[in-house]
Amino acid sequence: MLETLTFWGLSGLAILASALVIGQRNPMYSVMMLIASFGALAGLYIQLDAPFVAVAQIIIYAGAIMVLFLFVVMLLNAPQEDAAEWDRTHPLRQPGIMRFGGMLAVLLVLQLTWALLRVNGIDVPVGAEGDSEALGSVRTLGRILFTEYVFAFEATSILILVAMVGAVLLARREGDR
Amino acid sequence: MIPLSHYLVVSAVLFAIGTAGVFLRRNLITILLSIEIMLNAVNLSFIAFGRQQGNFDGQIIVFFVMTVAAAEAAVGLAIVISLYRHRESLNPDAFALLKW
């Protein structure tokens, strides 16, 4: 019972906060709402016996990535979208294909719902298989990460290095040496 | 016990919200945020599937998705800053030319 309540509360919060991210014009509030959404998702991860991922979600996503976004919003002085100018010039707002993007999103929801309704065997309870104690073990997770997936892990470090060099190069003012 | 389908529905709704954000919003920062929403929607279904199968593969791939998302955010925001210097605008319609 408590499990069901937690699930609905957290997923409702995640969906509501995500809708608010795209539902208002101030990018600062969008970033804040996204942090709330990530917090709710971290709760869902804990419920799914993935405490390491939940903590990483808070530290990496809500901590590092969102702070980076906040820095950029403040650095650029958060220009809000100009509603009147937007309505006049936006190609998707012209008569005929008005709300085209919204329609595509609704279409995607219908398609996904259709796919989910047709697939078999997804009504099984999630926690039925496997020992939840063992699956939540960070020690085992670390061992798998550094043995079975060690190549992918090392490749990630090169990716991060390249991304760091790229970010510095791109954000550099032209003419700076 | 919550059925797997519930998690998949939540994940689908979040993904659709992210898609709608990319299509509807005309602000580069909000578009990047919508991409993060989509990545997280997929992460949720990975974790749910991994838990249902009873192994660690779901958690491992989410770990890698997070790393890639961090790299993507860093490079994407650097591009946003560099674009903003050229045009003083965050509207993607202002960047219709490949070279200026």
| pLDDT reading at A15 higher than 80 | yes
Token pair, residue B78, equals 């650097």
Give the alpha-carbon dihedral of B75, A76, A23, A13, to 10 degrees: 70
Q: Which chain A residues are closer than 8 Å to B78 by Cβ?
A: 166-171
What's the CA gap between A59 and A51, in Å, rounded?
Answer: 12
Q: Which chain B residues are closer than 8 Å to A16 by Cβ?
A: none
Nearest to A43 by CA among A65, A59, A60, A58: A58
Shortest Cα distance, chain B CAs vs residue A160, angstroms: 6
What angle (nearest 5°) sits at the alpha carbon of residue B18, between those of residues A48 and A124? 30
Domain positions in chain B are 4-94
User: Is residue A97 domain-resident?
Assistant: no
CA A81 to chain centre: 22
- Specify whether the CB–CB gap between A38 and A1 falls below 8 A: no
Domain end among A53, A78, A103: A78
| Least confident segment among A123-127, B7-11, B40-44, B82-86 | A123-127
What's the CA gap between B81 and B76, in Å, rounded?
Answer: 9
What's the CA gap between A39 and A58, in Å, rounded?
Answer: 7
**Residue in B closest to A72 by C-alpha:** B77
Q: How many residues make up chain A in this entry? A: 177
Nearest to A111 by CA among B36, B16, B17, B38: B16
How many CB atoms are closer than 10 A to CB A111? 12
pLDDT tens-digit profile of B22-67? Answer: 887 778 888 999 999 999 999 999 999 988 888 888 899 999 999 9
Please report the DSSP string for A100-116 in residue order. HHHHHHHHHHHHHHHHH
Shortest Cα distance, chain B CAs vs residue A177, angstroms: 16
pTM above 0.90, yes or no: no
What's the CA gap between B18 and A19, in Å, rounded?
Answer: 9
| Model pLDDT, residue A129 | 67
Tell me the residues of chain A between 45 and 84 that have a Cβ less than 8 Å away from chain B: 45, 47-50, 52-53, 56-57, 60-61, 64-65, 68-69, 72-73, 75-76, 79-81
**Residue in A closest to B54 by C-alpha:** A130
Q: Look up the CATH number of the domain holding residue A30.
A: 1.20.120.1200
Fold of B4-94: Helix Hairpins (1.10.287)
Same domain, A73 and A2: yes
Count: domains in chain A: 2
Q: Kindly state the average pLDDT of the residues A27-54.
A: 92
Residue ranges making up the domain that contains A10: 1-78
| pLDDT reading at A88 higher than 80 | no
Shortest Cα distance, chain B CAs vs residue A107, angstroms: 9
CA A126 to chain centre: 22
Q: Which of B8, B9, B25, B62 to mutate to test the interface with A (most CBs of A within 10 A)?
A: B25
Asked if the Cβ–Cβ distance from B30 to A125 is below 8 Å, we say: no
CA B46 to chain centre: 15
**Interface contact A27, partner B, CB < 8 A:** yes
User: Is residue A90 domain-resident?
Assistant: no
Strand partners, A125: B3
| Model pLDDT, residue A18 | 93
**Residue in B closest to A152 by C-alpha:** B64
Collapse the DSSP code of A144 into the 3-class scheme (helix H, G, I; strand E, B; otherwise coil) and give the result.
helix
Asked if the Cβ–Cβ distance from B71 to A34 is below 8 Å, we say: no
Q: What percent of chain A has pLDDT over 90?
A: 39
